[in-house]
């Protein structure tokens, strides 16, 4: 990078070397104060060395000496007054440059493409909801936002009300409440409340379950029992700010980046999106479309994808890998890969959101969240969308449409499932005053099913009555 000087060094504290992002350093009355963001949190180191030419910190150079305050070991980078001190293993490179350079130089043309694409209304993008046994098409990304559907699970311990609903407005209201309470909890250093709210965010997002034990709730407990969630989020906020300014992120001990924790970060940090497999799939699909138009996709633009959270051997697996014959995307298999793509997506979509100017469609104060929510809806399954084929092995329904299809949205009803039939029969017979025996007998006759199966279905329907 132009104007950047790299020097090998480390900070020596009383108990040994300390590595981290050097956020600032100043001398007052001969006493040096060094602000350091380390892997274990935010620290302030005080040196009793008197000010001298050997210990002066400036935007151009950090000289070594002064009784071993500095010692050669790891990397120091100074760029426009921002001083970075890190070792190679703990510092992740988001981009070889700052956020502004990324969006104005590397991603500028793709951002222009997205702004134009998001304003169009000729998508014909298929949507599917197996739970409602229906499917249709999004005419545009705005249409996807209007059709946003995420049922809120009934109760959240940190919220003062029983939240319900499934549309974008209902979810936004709940998230706004959780966001304000999480920020207040960190301001007041209320660790108990911060932990509860972070757990509630996992419940809202459906990322609170762990099929093999552990999972996000356990990780939250571990962070809280360690240095605390308040310290974790406060330190991470400083690291993210430095990341925007330099393109470098210091990974700290216990740092988590996945589809669950990204929901917490999206509430606590500005310009941070929820980067899950759905959003990643759609962004990759738009990058693939851009590549088909003859554009060269830089490596730093190739956001990584994640597989859907579904079991093995299902009859209709979802397609979330946006790779095509023109471009290949790698799968994010660890926290570093997920976080790097998350931050790059933050930078891209924040720039796009700032340029969307359709009154009444995109909320003025919540535009990035609205854009992310629309992409979330579109990313349920790429099969049959944006040029991705529908395969005979069950990837989606037997329909194939291009990204520029102008066909009208048509609601297609699938044959009713056994559970749906059972609910209809139950409601009809209960309205007539029929009891358990008559309803089970009708299940056996009309669905049809065994008497044992009918008894199980009866109890399941009755429990959700």
pLDDT one-digit tens code per residue, 61-75: 332 322 223 333 334
The tokens of 112 are what?
């222009």
pLDDT at 201 over 60: yes
pTM of the prediction? 0.70
**CA–CA distance from 416 to each of 130, 131, 326, 397, 423 (Å)?**
11, 11, 39, 16, 11
135 close to 128: Cβ distance less than 8 angstroms: yes
The residue ranking higher by pLDDT, 459 or 70, is 459
Query: Is the per-residue pLDDT at 406 higher than 80?
Result: no
Q: For 221-241, write each residue's pLDDT tens digit.
A: 999 999 899 999 998 888 888
Tokens representing residue 369 in the block: 């969240």
Residue 306 pLDDT: 95
| 296-346 pLDDT tens trace | 899 999 999 999 987 666 767 889 999 998 899 999 999 999 999 999 999
What is the Cα–Cα distance from 374 to 366, expressed in whole angstroms? 13
The angle formed by the CA atoms of residues 292, 293 and 295, to the nearest 5 degrees, is 90
Residue 96's SS3 state is coil
Flag whether pLDDT at 142 surpasses 60: yes
Separation between Cα atoms, residue 214 and residue 226, nearest integer Å = 16
Place of tokens 């790299």: 6
| Phi, psi (rounded to 5 degrees) for 322 | -85, 5
For residue 322, what pLDDT is reported?
94
Q: What is the DSSP letter of 411?
A: -
Residue 435 pLDDT greater than 80, yes or no: yes
- Residue 120: the pLDDT is 79
């Amino acid at each position: 990078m132009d104007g950047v000087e790299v020097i090998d060094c480390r900070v020596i504290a009383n108990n040994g070397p300390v590595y981290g992002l050097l956020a600032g350093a100043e001398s007052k009355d001969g006493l040096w104060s060094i602000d350091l963001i380390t892997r274990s949190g935010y620290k302030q180191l005080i040196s009793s060395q008197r000010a001298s030419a050997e210990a002066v910190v400036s935007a151009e150079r950090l000289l070594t000496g002064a009784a071993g305050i500095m010692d050669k070991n790891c990397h120091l980078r100074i760029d426009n007054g921002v001083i970075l001190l890190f070792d190679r293993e703990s510092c992740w490179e988001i981009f070889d440059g700052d956020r502004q350079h990324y969006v104005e130089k590397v991603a500028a043309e793709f951002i222009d493409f997205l702004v134009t694409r998001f304003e169009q209304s000729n998508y014909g993008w298929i949507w599917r909801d197996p739970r409602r046994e229906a499917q249709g098409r999004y005419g545009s990304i705005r249409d996807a936002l209007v059709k946003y559907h995420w049922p809120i699970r009934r109760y959240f311990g940190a919220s003062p009300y029983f939240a319900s609903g499934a549309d974008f407005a209902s979810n936004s209201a709940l998230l706004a409440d959780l966001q304000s309470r999480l920020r207040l909890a960190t301001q007041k250093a209320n660790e108990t409340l911060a932990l509860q709210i972070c757990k509630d965010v996992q419940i809202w997002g459906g990322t609170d379950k762990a099929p093999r034990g552990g999972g996000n709730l356990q990780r939250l407990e571990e962070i809280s029992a360690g240095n605390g969630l308040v310290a974790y989020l406060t330190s991470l906020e400083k690291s993210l700010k430095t990341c925007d300014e330099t393109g470098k992120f210091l990974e700290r001990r216990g740092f988590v980046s996945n589809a669950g924790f990204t929901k917490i970060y999206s509430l606590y940090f500005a310009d941070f999106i929820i980067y899950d497999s759905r959003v990643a799939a759609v962004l990759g699909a738009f990058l693939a479309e851009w590549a088909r138009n003859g554009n060269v996709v830089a490596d730093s633009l190739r956001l990584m994808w994640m597989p859907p959270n579904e079991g093995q051997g299902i009859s209709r697996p979802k397609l979330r890998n946006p790779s095509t014959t023109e471009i290949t995307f790698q799968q994010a298999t660890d926290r570093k890969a997920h976080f790097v793509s998350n931050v790059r997506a933050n930078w891209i979509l924040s720039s796009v959101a700032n340029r969307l100017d359709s009154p009444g469609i995109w909320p003025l104060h919540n535009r990035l969240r609205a854009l992310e929510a629309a992409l979330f809806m579109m990313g349920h399954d790429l099969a049959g969308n944006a040029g991705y084929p529908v395969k005979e092995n069950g990837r989606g329904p037997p329909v194939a449409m291009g990204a520029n299809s102008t066909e009208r949205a048509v609601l297609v009803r699938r044959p009713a499932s056994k559970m749906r039939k059972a609910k209809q029969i139950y409601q009809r017979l209960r309205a007539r005053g029929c009891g358990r025996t008559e309803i089970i007998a009708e299940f056996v006759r009309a669905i049809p099913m065994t008497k044992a199966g009918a008894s199980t279905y009866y109890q399941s329907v009755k429990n959700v009555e």
